[in-house]
Structure 1
Amino acid sequence: MTIHAGAPMPAELRHWMRAKQDPARAVPCSHCGAAAHKPCRLRTTGRILTEPHPQRRSDWAKASACCPDCQVTPEVPCHDEGRARLTVHARRYQEAEATAA
């Protein structure tokens, strides 16, 4: 029996199928190493998670939105008085969700 890879999926169909996913899945997960558009996994057991890791959500917000609190552009980490933060400000999450909708 021959296994065929099949025809490539049209971009419109791929977008429609991914519309139900969490928008944070658009970036790779720096915590578990999951690729973009793939679900996060537990590093110890490999169990698939229904929600992305908090670090992935932070990476997504940093990549897609400007921060109203510290006035930085996308891809620039948030800061508190010049000191870089490990996560982004809460308002940056709100901005990212507004742009994703």
Structure 2
Amino acid sequence: MTIHAGAPMPENLRHFMRATQHPARAVPCPHCAAPAHRPCQLRKTGRQLPHPHPQRVSAWAQTTACCPECQVTPEVPCHEDGRALHTVHQRRQQEAEATAA
């Protein structure tokens, strides 16, 4: 007996099925190493979390939005006094959330 995987799901259906997820799931989590489109998890127990780690939200905002505070384009880390920040400015995160909504 042969098992068929079936046809791949069309992207427009996949988008609507993921609509209830946080948009930050589109990028891998730098904290727990969860792959894109998978939930974050605790590193010790592996328990899945209902919300993404703040580091993942920051990485997502960096890839999707320009920062109105330090005037950098997507993919460029936020900076303060010439030094790159580990997270993004709050205004950049708000800009990314507004764009995703």
For Structure 1 versus Structure 2, the TM-score category normalised by the shorter chain is: over 0.9
- TM-score of the aligned structures, taking structure 2 as reference length: 0.94
Q: Show the 5 A alignment for 1:1-101.
A: 3-101=3-101
Structure 2 unaligned spans of 5+: none
Q: How far off is 1:2 after superposition?
A: 5.3
The amino acid of 1:29's aligned partner reads C
- TM-score of the aligned structures, taking structure 1 as reference length: 0.94
Q: How far off is 1:9 after superposition?
A: 0.8
Give the RMSD, CA atoms, in angstroms: 1.1
Q: How far off is 1:5 after superposition?
A: 2.1
Once the two structures are superposed, residues 43-69 of structure 1 have per-residue CA deviations (whole angstroms, 9 ceiling, x without a partner) of 100000000011000000000000000
Report how many residues are paired: 101
Once the two structures are superposed, residues 28-47 of structure 1 have per-residue CA deviations (whole angstroms, 9 ceiling, x without a partner) of 10111111111001110000
Runs of 4+ in 1 over 3 A off after TM superposition: 1-4
Structure 1 unaligned spans of 5+: none
